[in-house]
Structure 1
């Protein structure tokens, strides 16, 4: 890593450029070794030190000021950091993934060797290191607490999962979040599920156990007392160059190297403004007065500049940014095409389903409708899914739609949805590693109950009515609502589809 960093010229790179190089290059140099070995923490600290020095432009013999602490820099953006990865935490995430593969019984050769040599049929979470244990095995056991924190029960029928004492719905068992003892400590998850498969109470769902998920889990443990702040995220959503975002981030952190900051770091003899000696140069008047080139000229001793030159430079850079960020300036590789709802063949019905997610209140809904070959309404539905992900909401909508088709006695169904990921998961028989497995199994079982059932993908423009019904699920009470006739907001879409209305997609 040191040889790689020495070949790059820090002086010619901005702070944003150095950050990108760390994220895309140096962070992956030790990744191969980290995948199988828990490195000593001193080595990981040395890796972080090299990245830290390079980020702030320090080279051998010349140390630049480090404006923000490394603990903040490798925090996630929602906590006010840059999202760079700590080498030690990243190494733990890799080794935790090895433990996860052992825990779920992976059939790889190395897993079978480890299971035979060390586990002997025991649970990984209860295993202990032996005097002759390998370095890899010791690393897996050392990261066992992270694995245990991230494990969730996969809820099927819920008959084997204890509602209070098993970790199935959050970061800890529910009993650990209560000040009083539950009235029924042996309550099962199956006892709080209604006959139609929906929850009798609010719940949350998590994703698969990946290296990224393990790293985020480690970060959440470190920032358990810090609530994520949306006030940091707006910086990274700005439509501007990355170096400008980095400057705004430093500004929000109060770490711009103004004269008062330079004075506290013993880099100058006076904290006052060189142009207005009566005032201390803080960030607010500094940002209103000077741009970077003029600030550099002033510190170098060039006190003369024309204000009109600064204004012209600002206007020019603004025009460049507006042109670069405008939609008309982007290069489009796809040709525009017309999208419409296509009716099924005679003797078939078409089910259109969709999911909807509202980030404001972390709620999800699903909906869909069924029509015949003439485009006539047969039935529709909307459902309030609760707190979950958009992927689960999409699958939920498809499952409820297939259930509705089966209850109506329909035998030949074309199921259509605008989630390409969900379609691929079902058609390609991908093995899910998250809590969507139970819903995916339900969908596959339902598809086998029809004489013929086809699943295909459509674009959002051809799925407008299902999208409207999914949005209704947000305001609906918990559970499923059947629409025997189309709601008022769907009738116009229904008429347009029957007339062959098309929408242009670029």
Structure 2
């Protein structure tokens, strides 16, 4: 598991034994399989049991060794491997030959995954290819190779540092010829490389202590093995499917907002990043029809926008409503009615109650005390002693 890729037949046999144990199968009888193996191996937050697929786990373990080699670890075995198998001037040039060890062949086979799953922080820009067929640096999880763009051959070998002019600014005019506007905006938000910033650095599935995490590596490997979807919006085709694009800027959802958002609010509504957009809608102090705050209408609209998009993607017979704003406002009306019913009977009633001092029996005295504290932590108390006729006998504070 830790030092070589296990043959598929062996892995299948081990997982068959796992399934038999979980389902209660024996050599002579089979039980009803209420839950499929694909569901069992999904993460718990996705409705599965969190069991890990051995093939993916095997790859994650091998990649941990590969990451140590990639980062120049000085462990003894790393020095031995590089001393025996380094065939280039840098650690990124790895090649396996027929007579090499099984461990080295396994690492070389999975080496491209390290580049796919690493996120590069741009400093001097000399280590990262700008047209990035393996390296990720614009946004985590986004590779230009996945976008099916037409990149000219003359530009594919450039480094990121070559995309900066003499004044230290991005050469966006060079990128504009082959990249969509959404990617240009992402690149413009990245500080341009500088010679004084030092060498570029790569982050790859590391925990808070900076150590490679097999658990963190498992999840992206699982997704890469089972999903090869494009990062571009299915409807637009030329826009990256970010959260903000899906919820606000996509033409699929734009008619909904144009019908619900006042014209005097649209400038602020349709500008800003995701965080600014959320804060704007949560803080706007305007009430619409049914005496409902705008933020409630916005939240319900977001729910429907996300639900409709997913149903269009995964349900064959789903048809998007022709009047989405009307559907949202009907839901808002139902929300208002339900909210009022929920609070019926829960409103506190003010009752005026007169408080008087009651004298003690003859021959007795009564001690009344009271205390209070303030937010700064200071406290105080006091009390009085009176007789049966209300006469003052003493007090303290």
TM-score (norm: length of structure 1): 0.34
Identify the structure with bigger relative contact order (alpha carbons < 8 Å, sequence gap 6+).
Answer: 1
Q: Which of these two proteins has the greater Rg computed from alpha carbons?
A: 2
TM-score (norm: length of structure 2): 0.43
